Amino acid sequence: MVNCPETKSAPLFSKVKYSIEEEGPIIVAYHFKSPENMGHIIRLASNFGCSKVLLIGDKDGVRHTKIKKVAGAAAGQIEWLFCDENNWKDYIPEKYVIAAIETTDHSDCITTVNLPKNVAFVLGSEIFGLSSEMLKECAHFYHIPMIGAIKSMNVSHACSVALYEWVRQNITK
């Protein structure tokens, strides 16, 4: 057993302050099936200072109580709403760049490009990813470098990596 000094996270985080001068990124979750992933995305979005989460898909076919349970307090701290494929762009300000987190023939490595300050990250469903129609709505395509044998990751983990890289480039420099 390793002996670790007793720490309390609240004092640490009360001393370290990061802030966003403008609205943060927007997360667009395209046809997620898992309420757990929806909840994780909402929590991550709140952690990283996003302005909202758009859940594209059928709001009646998912357990909202499960989403809220997984999101925890974040469910009340960030705007999140269901919308459909016809109106989701109405919730994204014009100054935002729409970018897919998806490996494509022409995607750029997320760590080697300058991510836009005002970005809407689009994440595909756990099973099918993003449709060709949805990919047409995106101005940029970013992939996450993976050196292991498995070249895919859980969608909430991919969101975490993308948001971390955005914060690293736009907030902590």
Give this prediction's pTM.
Answer: 0.89
Residue 70 to residue 168: CA distance in whole angstroms = 26
Domain ranges for the chain: 21-170
DSSP state of 48: T
What CATH architecture applies to the domain 21-170?
3-Layer(aba) Sandwich (3.40)
User: pLDDT tens digits, residue range 50-94?
Assistant: 999 999 998 887 899 999 999 999 999 999 999 999 999 999 999
CA-nearest of 87, 17, 20 to 50 is 20
Whether the pLDDT of residue 10 is over 80: the answer is: no
